[in-house]
Structure 1
Amino acid sequence: MTFRMRAARTSDLAALYEMAKLTGGGFTNLPPDKPSLIAKLDRSAKAFARIDDTLGEDLFVLVLENAETGQVRGTCQIFSQVGMSAPFYSYRIGTLTQHSKELARTFRADMLTLSTDLEGASEVGGLFLHPRERAGGLGMLIARSRYLFIRQHRARFANTTIAELRGLIDEGGGSPFWDGVAGRFFGMNFQEADEFNAIHGHQFIADLMPKHPVYIAMLSEPARAAIGLPHPSGRAAMRMLEGEGFSADGYVDIFDGGPTMRANTDRIRSIADAKTTTIGRVAANEAPRAIVSHGTLESFVATWGCVDGDSLDPEAAGLLNVGAGDEILVAPQ
């Protein structure tokens, strides 16, 4: 293993831009737009530099680096709080029950209601792994490193954490959900709306989206079928989130209908199970590998490693730049 997670730097712009062009659309947190990526990196730098350990409105960008080559091959993002300076919209799936005495029948109608229920939650997102690196547990390393970062800086994050999964996108880059719902009110296709949102934010949703509930039965079959389903490339991510204790409990993305997963932050498995260990010695061992991290804020680094008691394997120690006497955070596999 030669890969490690670290804080993103302004010098990572080119690598992030190249990865953004590979996402295939619908990936709001990683737009193929250099000014937007520069703004994200600037905001992240300020978050890493902030010294007061309190809940703010920070964005932390982490990258997956090949320590041997210096190449950046993946990334993820953590938002400490969403919806504080601009509304954070979701559709909430609900049911309206009505009864007719004359017909002696009860009718239940499923509805989508525009909601800001998730405002104030922390969000993990923006996870992308280069297609040529999708082996060896690197996707899990990216995902779980976020939780160790949160664990190390718990006061900076909310009591609820969410994750939005990209919804179904067709071969032409369109979204059946967008075409059946929001597209009718915005005069733009999904790709145009997604790009606009990635660069300018959600305010145009507040300006133009109808505020009344949408009856699901009135949507087209493709739009109905897309509700709550992740993009095929996101199924593994959904399983990883479920393994961490996240659940899809009735919220979907307003653009593509993808599921929004939610968890109690302190009950996320990697956070709850993580233990602090002081390294006694650096030596090869036969322990099962775990996610291991060291450092805080911009010095935070995470990788796969084998920890047996107070012994850490040499490869992981080298990637973390630690030795005997240093503290590490360990999350079992």
Structure 2
Amino acid sequence: MSFVLRAARAGDLPALYQMAKSTGGGFTNLPPDRPTLKAKLARTEASFSRDEETLADDLFLFVLEDTASAKVRGTCQIFSRIGSRWPFYSYRISTFTQYSKELDRTIRAETLVLSTDLDGASEVGGLFLLAGERAAGTGALLARSRYLFMAMHRARFADRTIAELRGAHDETGGSAFWDGLAGRFFGMSFREADDFNAVHGNQFIADLMPKHPIYTALLPETALAVIGKPHQSGRAAQRMLENEGFRYECYVDVFDGGPTMTAPTDGIATIKAARTAEIVGLSDEGEDCLVAHGHLGAFRASCGRIAATTTGVKLNPGAAEALGISVGDSVTYVPR
């Protein structure tokens, strides 16, 4: 079975909607709402069509397609610059120390501070793979192909990249972090707030949340226990991000307390290791690689075998067919 990552198009709406309904909630970038998904696809088409090689408020949405059946099995997204349409809110975990001479006691307090520190960064997100396909490196293809796209279109992305991980949820889809903090101010369940955010954005957080720091010591134990912790299903994603050079720097999601990972864009491992070369021949020999070709909407990525030569590279015929390329074309690749 062979897979190829390609730019999403309007005809992918039914497949995206079905995947959105199967996420189990908490995927703000993939809401089970047809009008919102349709708007995302329209914005994606405009982003892929923009000629200027500059940083702008773009959304690049991709799908993972099974080349044998032509069925969409996964999806992912890149936001070139967050915080353009409305501020990008996070909680920043801060600490400060106080000392009482009379008691001879030092107190170290931790607070959550509503922050827009991450405004202007690029974001990778919206990654979802159908359960039956989570094997044979498809997850890595889905995740790392985004970085190949960024490497091939570097001027369109910021110098810092972030990734938000879904926070811990209970078996009913609720969030202990939301219930212990933000939910007290909004009179909404986590699912209601998350659905509203997916469609309308999170400006309502800034409108109604207290602007002063919140002492974590005042939160219930259930909320404290999940701050900065990913959802059980997101632990593998966190490890992949860490392998790429992303780090948790005490920023958490305002809804479910999940960790936000950050990295210098040029320091992302796949971007650093990416190489571009001309195909000088076809061969099944070589090293297992992720291979990409194409500008903007013509971008495609797949798994393949690359054998380096003194004049270029040889690519296995199966990957060449999946990417729609031949001898004389150029590819950008990175070892798997």
TM-score by length of structure 2 reads: 0.98
Which residue of structure 2 lines up, in the alignment, with residue 312 of structure 1? 315
Deviations 1:66-97 (A, max 9, x none): 11111000000000000012010000001021
Which residue of structure 2 lines up, in the alignment, with residue 54 of structure 1? 54
Question: Matched residues in 2 for 1:249 and 1:155: separation?
Answer: 25
Mapping of residues 67-82 of structure 1, within 5 Å: 67-82=67-82
TM-aligned CA deviation for residue 288 of structure 1: 3.0
Query: Is 1:332 aligned to 2:335, yes or no?
Result: yes
Aligned residue for 1:60, secondary structure, equals strand
Aligned length: 332
TM-aligned CA deviation for residue 271 of structure 1: 0.3
Runs of 4+ in structure 1 off by over 2 angstroms are: none
TM-score by length of structure 1 reads: 0.99
Deviations 1:215-258 (A, max 9, x none): 11111111000100000111000000000000001100000000
Query: Is 1:37 aligned to 2:37, yes or no?
Result: yes
Which residue of structure 2 lines up, in the alignment, with residue 109 of structure 1? 109
Of stretches 315-324 and 262-271 in structure 1, the one that deviates more from structure 2 is 315-324
- Structure 1: 5+ residue stretches without partners: none
Question: Matched residues in 1 for 2:104 and 2:304: separation?
Answer: 64
Which residue of structure 1 lines up, in the alignment, with residue 11 of structure 2? 11
Aligned residue for 1:179, secondary structure, equals helix
Deviations 1:266-303 (A, max 9, x none): 01000000000111101111x33111000010000001
Percent sequence identity over aligned pairs: 61
Amino acid at match of 1:308: A
Which residue of structure 2 lines up, in the alignment, with residue 321 of structure 1? 324
- Structure 2: 5+ residue stretches without partners: none
Mapping of residues 253-268 of structure 1, within 5 Å: 253-268=253-268
RMSD: 0.7
Deviations 1:84-119 (A, max 9, x none): 120100000010210111111110011110000000
Aligned residue for 1:279, secondary structure, equals strand
Amino acid at match of 1:288: E
Aligned residue for 1:242, secondary structure, equals helix
Aligned residue for 2:68, secondary structure, equals coil
Which residue of structure 2 lines up, in the alignment, with residue 237 of structure 1? 237
Aligned residue for 2:19, secondary structure, equals helix
Which residue of structure 2 lines up, in the alignment, with residue 289 of structure 1? 288
Question: Matched residues in 1 for 2:106 and 2:164: separation?
Answer: 34
Amino acid at match of 2:69: T
Mapping of residues 140-151 of structure 1, within 5 Å: 140-151=140-151
Deviations 1:279-332 (A, max 9, x none): 1101111x3311100001000000111101111111111101111111000111
